[in-house]
Each structure stands twice: as C-alpha cells, then as structure tokens.
Structure 1
Amino acid sequence: MEKIKLTQEQANAIEYALNKTGDYKDDKDRLIRDISRDYVNFHNDLFSLNKIDIAVAAKALYAGYEVIPQYKVGDWITVFYENGNFKYTAKITSVESEFVRVDVNTSRNFPQYLNGYGIVRHATPEEIQQEKKRRFWNGIGRIEDEYKQNDLVEVDYQDYGIINGKTNSGTWMIYHINDDATVFCSSDEIRLIVKAEDRLDK
C-alpha cells in the first residue's frame, strides 16, 4: 500500500500522541477511535488531529506515511505533469495551505497543488542551473548557447575573447585577447559577457 501524505503539523501531532502522551502512548487503536469520535476535541500539540480524515489517519498509522515537503517563497521546485511526460522548474512566489504559486509565465502558471494534480518536489541543483541558463538566453532573445560572431565572452576564469566562428565539430573559435591567439572552447567553457551588437568598441 502506498504511504499516505501528511502535513508536517499532522505528522508532529501523531508522533507526539504516540510517544509523549499518557492517553495514546504506543496505542494506535485508541488514537484512531478518538479521532473518529465527533465529541473528542484535541488541544495544543494534538490540535491538527481535529481536522484529519479518519481514513487518512488510519492509513498513516498502519501503513506508514510521508511528510509533504515544506516549501517557502524563493525555493526552486520542479513540477511534473501529464503522467510525468513533461516538467518545468520554477521559483516559488507565494505559499498557501495546500498549494504554491510560481514565477513561470506559461499556460500552466496556475496554483501547483502540493498533494493533488501532478508531482511537485524541490528542484535539484542541476535543474536550477539549467533553468537559470534557459532564462538567461531567453531573456536576450537567443536559444541556449547561441553565441554569434564578435560576441565578447569570458574564457579561462576572467580572461576574455571574441567569438570568431564555429568548427564542424561544434567547438567555438575564439580570439583570446590576452594571448593574442585563437583558442577552441566548448559552450560549457565560455560565458557571454556582451553581445556583438551591444559592444561599444564596434
């Protein structure tokens, strides 16, 4: 059976009940019975159990549970949709009780539910780096790694060069300013500093 998902508050309340209270310590059956009774009101550390569904509580106690990850504004998340066939990475702009909003500007810029439609998780460092790269190139009106003739680029840790063409193998020919020589670099070894059309020395 798949583990049920609980909020951090619900998980804390269950753990507190089973480990630190005299009434429910190591007694899952009694806790379930009281959750099912309308006249039982939980207080303080157990307050969140007042609104938990009895079926959810039973599955959590007897089949196990996972805690829904905690998100905050500024976190990067990756959202999978349409059975995992598509995904995007975005930054959270607001957090509400059951969903988050993100900073993507697509047809799917609607609330992302944390326990419902699609799959939401924290983005990996690689996904964040790739999304920042995509946004950079999109922001200047080019596709990713679209260097052009006479672009000023950073080469070899703060040395600079001018794009002077591309080889058949896909590496860039770059006039290395400090060495007054041509070097060959992959896209991963250079970084755009100034587009050719924006250079003031042209």
Structure 2
Amino acid sequence: MEKVKITKKQEEAMDLTPFDLIHDLYHGHYYYKGTHEEQEQDVLKVLKAYINGYEVEPEFKVGDWIYNTKAKRVAQIDHRFGNGDELWVDDEEFNFYHLNDSRHATPEEIAEEKERRFFNEHSRKPWELKVGDVLVKKTDIFPLVVTEVNAEEITLNLLTCTRSEVKKCCKVLCFADDRLDVSAE
C-alpha cells in the first residue's frame, strides 16, 4: 500500500494509541474543526497512516528554495507565499508552483540556481566566459584575466586550464563588460 501524506500536526497524533488517536481527532485536537464529514475523513486518513505508514507533507515558508518536479526548476518562495495548493515564487517563467509538484530544493540545486541567476544578470549562460573577464582563485585573491577561450579550455594569464578546473577553482571577480580599467575599443 502507498504511504499516506499527513500534516506535521497530524504526525504528533501518531504517538497515541489508536483509541486515543480517534478520540483526539474527533474532537479536533490535531486538525481544523470542520464539518463532521471532514473530521471523519481526517480520522480515516490518520488511521490509514497508522496502519500503512505515512509521509509528512513538507512545510514551506517565505524564503525557502523549492524544486518543482514538473517544470524541473528551482525558485524561492516570495513574500506572496501561497494560498492552499499554490506557492508564489520568484521564477522568471512561472508565478507559482503547485504544492503537490514541489519539494524543498537540495543544497546542490540551490547553488546551481544561484550560479545560473548570477550569470544571467550579466546576459551569460553559466560559466560562459569571454576574453577580458577577471577571475580569482577561491583560495587567494590574485586576479586572473581570461586571455583565450575555446570549447574545452580557458587561458588565464599564461595558464591554460580545462573548463571544469576553472569552474572548480575560480570565481568571477568582474566581467569584461563591467571593467573600468580598460577601454571599450
């Protein structure tokens, strides 16, 4: 049988004996006080969870990074938060994600999205480098100027590295278009 999804509040009731669980659920201790039919449905749902196992529905708040499983996109919940089944997000393509299609984003997904947004602000794809961009190693602050770019390698000053080495060891200090120390000729 498939695990039942329950709320965090309903999970608290799972420590009770089935008799106490039914009693407390009927009296609205672990859920909103709706109609008698709604309370009955809630009791049945939690009892199924008690018997078949359960999964706690994720709780989201403003500022959380979430991953939409249908759109395969990562976004941050914005100040509009959500109403019921929708979470309002700061996505360039979508205003909101459906709750059922969303989960908390992993740290790797968040880092990748932040990187994508950083490069996108400068009209670039992630790690699209151009001659004149200035990078620094993550371990020190010595500037490295991009002097040559091809499909597999990037030359920084006189050092030629693979794209993956540059991505792993460096970060962007300044894009060529934003440099004030060179003329735009």
Amino acid at match of 1:69: P
Q: 2:19 aligns with which of 16, 21, 27?
A: 27
Q: Quick one: distance in 1 between partners of 2:72 and 2:55?
A: 23
Instruction: Judge conservation of contact 1:89–1:131 (CA < 8 Å) in 2.
Output: yes
Q: Which runs of 5+ in 1 are unaligned?
A: 19-24, 36-40, 176-181
- What is the total number of aligned residue pairs between the two structures? 170
Q: Mapping of 1:39-54 within 5 angstroms?
A: 42-43=27-28, 45-48=29-32, 51-52=38-39, 53=41, 54=43
Identity %: 31
The answer as to 2:165 corresponding to 1:183 is no
TM-score, normalising length from structure 1? 0.72
Q: Quick one: distance in 2 between partners of 1:191 and 1:72?
A: 31
Q: CA deviation at 1:183?
A: 1.6
The answer as to 2:67 corresponding to 1:78 is yes
The answer as to 2:143 corresponding to 1:160 is yes
Q: Quick one: distance in 2 between partners of 1:194 and 1:166?
A: 16
Match of 2:96 in 1: 110
Q: CA deviation at 1:98?
A: 4.2
Q: CA deviation at 1:122?
A: 1.2
Q: CA deviation at 1:55?
A: 4.0
Residues 164/80 of structure 1: CA separation in 2 closer, same or farther (3 Å cut):
same
Q: Quick one: distance in 1 between partners of 2:179 and 2:123?
A: 16
Q: Quick one: distance in 1 between partners of 2:58 and 2:159?
A: 47
Larger C-alpha radius of gyration, 1 or 2? 1
**Residues 75-118 of structure 1, C-alpha deviation per residue, up to 9 Å, x if partnerless?**
1111101xxxx511111111445442211120x333422xx3x2
Residues 6/26 of structure 1: CA separation in 2 closer, same or farther (3 Å cut):
closer
Amino acid at match of 1:187: V
Match of 1:6 in 2: 6
The answer as to 2:155 corresponding to 1:173 is yes
Q: 1:61 aligns with which of 34, 42, 50?
A: 50
**Residues 139-190 of structure 1, C-alpha deviation per residue, up to 9 Å, x if partnerless?**
110111111111111135211011110356x221111xxxxxx123333122
Amino acid at match of 1:110: F
Amino acid at match of 1:195: F
SS state of the match for residue 96, structure 2? coil
TM-score, normalising length from structure 2? 0.78
Amino acid at match of 1:9: K
